[in-house]
Structure 1
């Protein structure tokens, strides 16, 4: 029973704010990816990137937003897997690994995948937040 108040204290409450925006790399929208917002002392928020737009940022429940505060940000995106060639080998000895294995290539420099190395930050305020991230090599 003593854990109940602690669990209630960790709820989404009003310390979350809605986050939308855009993400580009070298001036082009990121087709598909993930974004992470880390505010010190708070639970991380995760969102998706589709056609350059930040969508569905969630901390506790789908679409509930990100914690208010100064956030370090990570963005991860991969190039769409190449379509297999009609005559491509399918054995485990084939380049790329076992049959059916999909190998993906990063669409962004690896530094952007970690909030500690990305160099990306933002201030999340109460209410609506429209963010823009223009990434470069």
Structure 2
């Protein structure tokens, strides 16, 4: 019984190692700018989460994050290692800016819900060469 548990532990470590090795070789630098209704979106949390290819059960790499400056510019870092960039491939992109309401402990987000969370309508394909133009022009009103 003890050897069975050890075998499961070794298999688990090998699986985690294989996932890590596969994604590390496919990292590319990603920067861009985010605007909201034409103005730079300062202080926005930006996240890129790889989207699993059709027929795959898991995503193809680790997620990335960044934060916009006063000009709405951001650079991505890998969540697990803080290395620069993002995994090559398709990503779901989430953007959020939490604000505290005056005299209230609740927070609001000036970014519309369609750009936040796991069901964000934003996507981006990270090329193997990287990009400096992962730009998103968000709007508070839907375009018709």
Whether TM-score is above 0.5 comes out as yes
Unaligned runs of 5+ in 2: 1-9, 53-58
Q: Which structure's residues are more often strand, by fraction?
A: 1
What is the aligned residue count?
119
The corresponding residue for 1:58 is: 78
Distance in 1 (CA, whole Å) between partners of 2:129 and 2:78 is 15
* Partner of residue 114 from structure 2, selected from 111, 116, 132: 111
Q: Which runs of 4+ in 1 moved over 4 A?
A: none
Matches within 5 A, 1:73-112: 73-79=93-99, 81=100, 96=104, 102-112=105-115
The corresponding residue for 1:25 is: 36
The corresponding residue for 1:44 is: 63
TM-score, normalisation: structure 2:
0.70
Distance in 1 (CA, whole Å) between partners of 2:124 and 2:112 is 20
Q: Which structure's residues are more often helix, by fraction?
A: 2
Distance in 2 (CA, whole Å) between partners of 1:63 and 1:76 is 22
Aligned partners of 1:59 and 1:66 also within 8 Å: no
Alpha-carbon shift at residue 60 of structure 1 (Å)? 2.4
Distance in 1 (CA, whole Å) between partners of 2:11 and 2:118 is 35
Distance in 2 (CA, whole Å) between partners of 1:68 and 1:115 is 19
Report the aligned-residue RMSD.
2.2
1:5 aligns with 2:14: yes
Secondary structure of the residue aligned to 2:30 is strand
Alpha-carbon shift at residue 126 of structure 1 (Å)? 1.2
Secondary structure of the residue aligned to 1:105 is strand
Distance in 2 (CA, whole Å) between partners of 1:29 and 1:59 is 24
Unaligned runs of 5+ in 1: 85-94, 97-101
TM-score, normalisation: structure 1:
0.73
